[in-house]
């Protein structure tokens, strides 16, 4: 058994996400961190990122998307970038990380490159594949959003193995790309980090608390304004909005206008503080459109917090009987679902549901892909 472990350790895995450690507003940063930490139990892993975090991080010079957010929002040149690009922070991140990351990886010679920052990391992996033969493992988090626009774009980088979140997407990919190796593996949650045990925040807000976590950007699919509007019809409860982004001021103004100072609070927290926040509230919600997965739901459930979410197949799978799905675009129905969730005794249902998605179990599924598909080992 020890010889197998030593053989696995010689396999080098490079996980890429420049924003990892800089901010935790997006799910891809957390996924990169969790996968790097858990795969390190099986392989020689390094996480290429913008700020030291965890046990295997390697910090390289670049401008992660979070560090350019204020400049893009306030400067004249930043305004021009916003007009030119849909997500200018990602463009800057990709441009500034390309050569530092590429040169580092040409020296370290990974067997498998696992980019988590969309086309920026995929471009680096594509070059490495052609220069030194590294395999590309890629998780497409956008799924079939916009008729698979992002997926189709990223398939041009020809990943050796593609991971998606559900079997419906697997079948679609096989129809579009018959020769593509593809697997369905859900996101995970770290049950040792997110739990009911630990300190809680104290808020000077009215009544029970609803939490919404996500990037504050009106151009993305999070639709944070929907929960603010719905909470205006749940008068004896308050909303905590956690996140940052180019439209932070807009959401703060909307929250204060519709809910008032005593029923609304916006905050930005570090990754280490998020478990404490989830434990501090009574209900979690995120009204995003066409969420390919949405690991924040699992983080809330693991913390013992029930969830209210849009009604689709993926979120029904995640939430199970530990929350409520509804039409969040119907303001009255959304408000009623939030009110019902606040009044219900959920007992241990959230924790029991989250236990089905532990990161340890998810990492083993990725290990199976790496061993059997990418490294062609006989397991």
Over residues 32-55, mean pLDDT: 94
182: confidence class by pLDDT, cuts 50, 70, 90: very high
**Does pLDDT of 296 surpass 60?**
yes
HEC secondary structure over the chain: CHHHHHHHHHCEEEEECCCCCCCCCCHHHHHHHHHHHHHCCCCEEEEEECCCCCCCEEECCCCCHHHHHHHHHHCHHHHHHHHHCCCHHHHHHHHHHHHHHHHHHHHHCCCEEEECCCHHHHHHHHHHHHHHCCEEEEECCCCCHHHHHHHHHHHHHCCCEEEECCHHHHHHHHHHCCCCCEEECCCCECCCCCCCCCCCCCCCCCCEEEEEECCCCCCCCCCHHHHHHHHCCCCCEEEEEECCCCCHHHHHHHHHHHHCHHHEEEECCCHHHHHHHHHCCCEEECCCCCCCCCHHHHHHHHCCCCEEEECCHHHHHHHCCCEEEECCCCHHHHHHHHHHHHHCCCCCHHHHHHHHHEHHHHHHHHHHHHHHHHCCCCC
**Per-residue pLDDT tens digits for 98-133:** 999 999 999 999 999 999 999 999 999 999 999 999
**Does pLDDT of 179 surpass 90?**
yes
Over the Cα atoms of the chain, what is R_g? 21
Over residues 17-42, mean pLDDT: 89
Q: Yes or no: say if 275 and 195 are a contact pair by the CB < 8 Å rule.
A: yes
Say how far apart CA 207 and CA 238 lie, in whole Å.
Answer: 6
Over residues 334-345, mean pLDDT: 97
**Does pLDDT of 375 surpass 50?**
yes
5: confidence class by pLDDT, cuts 50, 70, 90: low
Over residues 298-315, mean pLDDT: 92
**Does pLDDT of 194 surpass 90?**
yes
Least confident among 219-223, 226-230, 329-333: 219-223
2: confidence class by pLDDT, cuts 50, 70, 90: very low
pLDDT score, position 18: 95
pLDDT score, position 1: 40
pLDDT score, position 76: 67
Say how far apart CA 324 and CA 172 lie, in whole Å.
Answer: 28
pLDDT score, position 300: 96
pLDDT score, position 278: 97
Say how far apart CA 202 and CA 374 lie, in whole Å.
Answer: 48
**Per-residue pLDDT tens digits for 210-222:** 999 988 888 776 7
Distances in Å between the alpha carbon of 340 and those of 46, 212, 314, 343?
45, 17, 22, 5
CB atoms inside a 10 Å sphere around CB 44: 17
Q: Yes or no: say if 209 and 181 are a contact pair by the CB < 8 Å rule.
A: no
Phi, psi angle pair for 43, to nearest 5°? -135, 175
Q: Which of 375 and 230 is assigned the larger pLDDT? A: 230
Q: Which of 51 and 74 is assigned the larger pLDDT? A: 51
**Per-residue pLDDT tens digits for 242-279:** 998 888 999 999 999 999 999 999 999 987 899 999 99
4: confidence class by pLDDT, cuts 50, 70, 90: very low
As a whole number, the mean pLDDT across the chain is 90
Say how far apart CA 341 and CA 300 lie, in whole Å.
Answer: 14
**Per-residue pLDDT tens digits for 90-100:** 888 999 999 99
pLDDT score, position 39: 95
pLDDT score, position 313: 77
pLDDT score, position 222: 75
Distances in Å between the alpha carbon of 2 and those of 128, 194, 203, 375?
31, 32, 51, 19
Q: Which residues does 245 contact at the CB level (< 8 Å), separation at least 6?
A: 25, 69, 215, 216, 217
pLDDT score, position 3: 44
Phi, psi angle pair for 344, to nearest 5°? -85, 145
pLDDT score, position 378: 54
Is this model's pTM higher than 0.85 or not?
no
Residues in a beta bridge with 135: 112
Over residues 231-238, mean pLDDT: 95
pLDDT score, position 7: 60
pLDDT score, position 345: 96
pLDDT score, position 99: 97
Over residues 59-70, mean pLDDT: 87
pLDDT score, position 8: 61
CA angle 364, 163, 212 (to 5 degrees): 90
Query: Domains in the chain, please, with CATH?
Result: 2-188+358-374 (3.40.50.2000), 208-356 (3.40.50.2000)
Least confident among 76-85, 122-131, 189-198, 216-225: 76-85
* Percent of the chain surpassing pLDDT 90: 67
**Does pLDDT of 365 surpass 90?**
yes
* Percent of the chain surpassing pLDDT 70: 94
CA angle 28, 33, 37 (to 5 degrees): 145
């Amino acid at each position: 058994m020890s010889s197998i472990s030593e053989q696995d350790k010689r396999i080098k895995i490079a996980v890429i996400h420049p924003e990892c450690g800089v901010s935790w507003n997006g799910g891809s940063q957390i996924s990169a961190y969790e996968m790097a930490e858990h795969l390190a139990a099986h392989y020689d892993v390094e996480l290429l990122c913008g700020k030291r975090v965890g046990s295997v991080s390697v910090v390289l010079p670049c401008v992660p998307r979070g560090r350019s957010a204020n400049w893009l929002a306030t400067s004249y040149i930043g305004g021009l970038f916003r007009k030119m690009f849909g997500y200018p922070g990602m463009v800057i991140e990709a441009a500034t990380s390309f050569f530092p990351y590429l040169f580092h990886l040409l020296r370290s010679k990974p067997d498998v490159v696992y980019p988590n920052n969309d086309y920026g990391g995929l471009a680096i992996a594509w070059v490495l594949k052609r220069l030194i033969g590294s395999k590309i493992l890629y998780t497409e988090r956008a799924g079939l959003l916009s008729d698979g626009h992002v997926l189709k774009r990223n398939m041009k980088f020809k990943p050796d193995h593609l991971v998606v979140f559900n079997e419906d997407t697997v079948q679609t990919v096989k129809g579009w790309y018959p020769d593509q190796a593809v697997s369905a593996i859900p996101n995970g949650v770290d049950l040792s980090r997110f739990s009911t045990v630990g300190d809680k925040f104290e808020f000077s807000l009215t009544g029970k608390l609803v939490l919404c976590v996500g990037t504050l950007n009106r151009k993305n699919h999070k639709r944070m304004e929907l929960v603010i509007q719905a909470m205006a019809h749940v008068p004896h409860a308050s909303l905590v909005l956690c996140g940052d982004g180019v439209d932070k001021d807009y959401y703060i103004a909307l929250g204060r206008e519709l809910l008032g100072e005593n029923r609304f609070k916006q905050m930005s927290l570090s990754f280490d503080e998020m478990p404490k926040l989830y434990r501090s509230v009574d209900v979690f919600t995120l009204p995003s459109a066409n969420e390919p997965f949405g690991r924040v739901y699992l983080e809330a459930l693991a913390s013992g917090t029930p969830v209210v979410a849009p009604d689709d197949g993926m979120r029904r799978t995640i939430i199970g009987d530990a929350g409520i799905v509804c039409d969040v675009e119907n303001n009255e129905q959304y408000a009623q679902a939030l009110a019902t969730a606040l009044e219900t005794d959920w007992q241990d249902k959230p924790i029991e549901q989250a236990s089905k998605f532990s990161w340890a179990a998810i990492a083993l599924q990725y290990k199976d892909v790496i061993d059997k598909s990418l490294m062609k080992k006989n397991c």
